[in-house]
Structures are given as structure tokens and as C-alpha cells.
Amino acid sequence: MIKEKHIFAGNNSSKGFFSYFDHIISLEDAERIYILKGGPGVGKSSFMKKFGKEMAAKGYDLEYIHCSSDNDSLDGLLIPQLKILFVDGTAPHIVDPKVPGAVDEIINLGVYLNSKELEKHKNKIMQINKTISCLYNSAFRYLSAASSIDEEINSIYDKISDEDKFRQIVDETINKLFSSVPTIKKRGKNRKIFTEAYTSSGYINYINTLVKDLNVYAIVGENHNYVSKLLKIVADESMKRGYDIQCSYYALNPEKIQHIIISELNIAIISAENCMGVNCQVAVNLHNIMDTDKLKSYISEIENNMHLYDLLIKNALRKLSDTKKHHDLLEVFYLNSMDFMDFSGVDSCFEKLLSEY
């Protein structure tokens, strides 16, 4: 049965646009990396979707890398069995060849456009790009503010959490996961990705496409700091024992681990937040490390902060939605130029590539 996975390699975060594109596949492991160049609307995403459909028909597994701004669009396509990656190499995740010809190469779909037609709309295109940039910066400021409020909430939980109880839970979790697992004499690797993102369509979550065939253990807990701390300890232990892992990071705080997948052990350890629809067992309850009596005195403050947090996130998502509207307007200029586009050139490029596989 063909496996189809969906992830994000970049994210709109409290730190601006944050990229883990270098983690999709390493240069050492890749047979070929095709870097697609060209402006909006030239067909980069469609090219990858079409190629993916052809590869699926041939029985290959696929990993779709979605655009964090518009999840209906693709930033990349990985065919694991062939070790082939297609990736959008344009801003904000600019990708250029590192081993030209030997591993990676550029496919410039923009060469098939009539640039003279586009030059007529140069000023308007530049103005739209400027507006889009301003909207993104506004969204990033809201996300940064939301992150600060999130840390304020977590700081309250920190004050009423028992470190000894946490350490006991850590030891129990490590023992449960690794007590009967052999150690491999190598250092495991960490592939960094996102399974969730703030997009123009709202908050999108793809974790279910990665874990549906695994034994899933859920971590329940209000304090993201402790959830991420536990997951980091599990990640370090797994790599120390020689197992490769795949860590998904929080969209808001992209350096904090949210989920871990250890494929060699057929295990996923995930934060239970935002994971509706995932079939899992509750393995760790970090709520138990908090002093519930003390928690009562902070309820009003926490609720007020959560209301503020939700408002900031909604504002960020509204700004991202506005970027999509302007991006669609920008694409109109390029789509109109497609009347002058050498479609045979694009088709020939696609067919030539497809024939190699």
C-alpha cells in the first residue's frame, strides 16, 4: 500500500519565517535534488503535484512538503525510495545548489515566461510584494507577542511544578520506552520538521499522516516547557542509543520539540495538544507534577492570559489570510503572462524528467 505523508519544512513563527529545509534530505543521502525556480504562478507547485501523481501510479511512497503560508500549495516533494527531492527554491526559503550537477540542479520554470509582458506591470508587482512583506512582518509581530504570553502562562505553571516528580516521570518514561531495546553503536540523527503550521487557511495539522501506523504515546500537560523538556530528553536518549529520530517542532516556538517519531522502534511520542483524531494511549500525564491547590489561585490570571493569547493568534492568522489575497493578485500578472508562455517547453521539461524514473 502506498504511503503518503504530509509535513511542513518551514513555518510562520514567533521568530519570523523559520526554516528546516536543510533537514528534508541530506546531500549525502540524496540521489538527486531538483530546485525549482520561477515567480509565483509559473507552475512550481503544479509541477510537483503532477510528478507526485505519476510516481504514486508507479507505486512509490510520497512525502509532500506543504507551503506554510498556503497549505494547498507545495514547497517540496520527496520520493523516499528513489531518494529524489523536488523543492521550491524561491523566497522566503531560498535554496541554491551546493553540489551542482553531482547532486542538485536548478529547473528554472521562469525561463518559459515572456519577461517583456511582465515588465509592463513592474511597479504594480513591486508594490504588491511590498504589501505582502508588510503583512508577514505584522503577522510575525503578533506571533512573537503570543509567544511571550505563552511563556508568561508557562512561567506560572513552572512555579507550581514539582521538579522531583518530573524527574521521576522522566525515568519511568525512558525505562518504558528503552528498557528492552538494544543499543546500537552509532549516534542517531535528528531530522527536524514541522507537522503543524499557521497558514492563510488557519492552523493546519498533519501529524496523523505520520503516525497512523505507529504505536503512539501521548504526553498530556498544560506546560509546554515541561512537555518539550521531556521530549528533548527522550530524543537525546534515543540518539545516544543509536536510533534515528524525526522531531516535529512547535510552530510558534520552532526550537521546542512537540512530537518525536522513532521509526525503527515503531514508536511516536506526541504532545496531546491539537492531536484530535490520532489513535493513541496516554502514556505520560505531566498535569500530575503541578500543585493543584496552588493552581486555583492563578486560574483567573491564566484565563486572562489565554484570552489574550487567542486574540493575538487570531490577529496573526488574519494577517496571513490577507497575504494570500495579495499573493493571488500577484499571480494574476504571471498567469496573464502564461498566454505568452512556451507550454511545450514546460511539458518537455516534465516529460524528460519523468522518463528518467
pTM (2 decimals)?
0.93
| Closest of 231, 244, 236 to residue 191, by C-alpha | 244
**pLDDT at residue 104, as a whole number:** 83
For residue 57, the SS3 value is helix
As a whole number, mean pLDDT of residues 111-139 equals 89
Q: How far apart are the first and last CA of the chain?
A: 20
344 band by pLDDT with thresholds 50, 70 and 90: low
Show me where the domains of the chain are located. Answer: 4-113, 161-290
pLDDT higher than threshold 70 for residue 254: yes
Whether the Cβ atoms of residue 248 and residue 257 lie closer than 8 Å to each other: yes
E-state strands within the chain: 4-8, 10-13, 16-19, 32-37, 62-66, 74-79, 84-88, 104-108, 190-193, 196-199, 202-205, 215-220, 245-249, 257-262, 267-271, 281-285
pLDDT digits (tens, 9 = 90+) for 263-318: 999 999 999 887 777 888 778 999 999 999 999 999 999 999 999 999 999 999 99
pLDDT digits (tens, 9 = 90+) for 140-196: 999 999 999 999 999 999 999 999 999 999 999 999 999 999 998 899 999 999 999
**pLDDT at residue 338, as a whole number:** 61
pLDDT higher than threshold 90 for residue 257: yes
Q: What is the DSSP letter of 274?
A: T
As a whole number, mean pLDDT of residues 198-210 equals 95
**pLDDT at residue 343, as a whole number:** 59
**pLDDT at residue 119, as a whole number:** 85
pLDDT higher than threshold 60 for residue 220: yes
Q: Residue 329 belongs to what H/E stretch?
A: helix 299-337
pLDDT digits (tens, 9 = 90+) for 29-41: 999 999 999 888 7
Dig out the grid coordinates for 26 from the structure. Answer: 541530506
**pLDDT at residue 147, as a whole number:** 98
Q: Calculate the alpha carbon distances from 331 to 40, 164, 310, 334 in Å.
A: 5, 56, 32, 5
